Amino acid sequence: MKKEYWDVSDEQVIEKTGKRIDEWIKILDVFNAAGKKSNDVVAHLQQEYNVPRYWARTLTTHYLKQKEA
């Protein structure tokens, strides 16, 4: 998997999801995404926020990589 997959800009995320990256990070923090399986986080974004699957996966990976750092 290329690093670029999760290395996205605010502009890209806003265009595809309607929210900034920092907004998604707050949403994922409230959901306690760091303590859940990534597939569950992706499903949550899709079901609760209608995020397209590709972008739900990208946001989840981006979030988890930030939490690792």
Residue 69: its pLDDT value, please?
72
Cα distances from 50 to residues 13, 56, 62, 67, 68, in angstroms, run 14, 9, 18, 24, 26
C-alpha span between 40 and 12 (Å, rounded): 23
Contacts 24+ apart (CB under 8 A), 12-19: 13/55, 13/59, 16/52, 16/55, 17/49, 17/51, 17/52, 17/55, 17/59
Please tell me the pTM assigned to this model. Answer: 0.89
Residue 10: its pLDDT value, please?
92
Along the 69 residues of the chain, how does pLDDT read in single tens digits?
455 677 889 999 999 999 999 999 999 999 999 999 999 999 999 999 999 999 999 999 999 988 887
Residue 1: its pLDDT value, please?
47
Residue 22: its pLDDT value, please?
96
